[in-house]
Amino acid sequence: MTTGLFLTQLLNGLQLGVLLFLLASGLTLVFGIMNFVNLSHGSLYMMGAYFAAAAYNASDGSFAMAALAAVPGTLLLGLLVERVALSGLYRRDHLDQVLATFGLILFFNEVVRFVWGPASVYMNVPQALSGTVDLFGLAYPSYRFAIIAVGLAVGAALYLVIHRTRVGMLIRAGASNAEMVSALGVDIKGLNSVVFALGAALAGLAGLMAGPIVSVQSGMGEPILILTLVVIVTGGIGSIRGAFYGALIVGIVDTVGRAFLPTLLREFLERSVAQAVGPAIASMLIYLLMAVVLALRPQGLFPVRHG
């Protein structure tokens, strides 16, 4: 195990982490403010990736067109879904919300299979980012590096919006007491739509960024949705800070664990045992992490402070 390999895996983990953060921040805001569990967030990510890939292929490989289709497209789709199906569910209990959004997942999976067919759709990384960058003597793909940069930039922008602007102040106020905010004369329905649309746009952005490095196919939103849920529960539901650290922890633990745990176990266990157990434990690692966190701190690592 060389340092270079370890650093590469660490960066890969970071890259998965920021992708998860793009999804988790939207999901955790929606949950924090509207007390709404949105399982179909992964479907918005999938739709973002499909919009991007479709525009990319239609415009002969223009990544800018892909971005223009993916982010506003998902934003509009999010608004539509929120108004038509979900806004009636805010006052219902979590079970109804889980069920209805579960139904939406099945629906969207079939919609993409119907429109784009059952086979995967592909898009390439933009020409300018197809090379590698040199990080202290380590060659790392530029595109993956760009994902990290975009993720961190979005994180910083979100921090500024939420802590420095009027809308952000309302979002924070809504997260700690939505009824009081509406009693003060704020249009909470409009605020809900803004937050939902923002979350949807971030999911679309995640879909766009992930498009060139994964295969865009029906059902691609589900594995990452479950990872995202692990992130927000580990980080503390409703907390952006929790989503950020949670995403990085989950991304890095998952990637580094898968890469090195089987080799590491071989040091302690017999070869055959390690080969059988290693991958199993590696893929269970983040769920173990979440279980341990919840068992010790049911509120998550960085709970929202009310008061």
Partner 1 sequence: MASRVFAALVLVALAAVPLLAAALDQPFYVTLTTRILVFALAALGLNLVLGFGGLVSFGHAMYMGIGAYAVGILASHGVTSGWAHLAAALGVGALVALAVGAICLRTSGMAFIMITLAFAQMLYFLAVSLRDYGGDDGLPIQARSDFGLFTLDDPVVLYYTAFVLLLAVLFLFKRLIDARFGMVLRGCRTNERRMGALGFPTLRYKLVAYVISALVCVLAGVLLANLTRFVAPSYMAWTVSGELIVMTVLGGLGTLFGPVVGAAGLLLLEELLSSLKLGVPWLDQLLNQHWLGLIGLFIVLVVLVLKRGLYGVVVDRDRRRGGQA
For residue 123, give both structure tokens. 């898009």
> With contacts defined by CB under 8 A, how many residues of the chain interact with partner 1?
43
Binding mask 25-64 for partner 1 (x = CB under 8 A): ------x-----x---------------------------
Nearest to 106 by CA among 227, 231, 221: 221
Closest distance to partner 1 from the beta carbon of 283 (Å) = 4
Residues 260 and 62: their CA atoms lie apart, in Å, by 37
* 255 in contact with partner 1 (CB under 8 A): no
Q: Could you say which of 6, 61, 91, 107 contacts partner 1 (CB under 8 A)? A: 107
Rg (CA), the chain: 20
* 88 in contact with partner 1 (CB under 8 A): yes
Closest distance to partner 1 from the beta carbon of 52 (Å) = 22
> Length of the chain, please?
307
Q: Could you say which of 52, 100, 158, 250 contacts partner 1 (CB under 8 A)? A: 100
Closest distance to partner 1 from the beta carbon of 237 (Å) = 6
Contacting partner 1 within 224-253 (CB under 8 A): 226, 229-230, 233, 237
φ and ψ of 121, to 5 deg:
-110, 140
> Which residue number, 66 or 254, has a Cβ lying nearer to partner 1?
254
Q: Which spans of this chain sit near partner 1 (rule: CB under 8 A)?
A: 31, 37, 85, 88-89, 92, 94-96, 98-100, 102-111, 113-114, 222, 226, 229-230, 233, 237, 276, 279-280, 283-284, 287-288, 290-291, 294-295, 298, 300
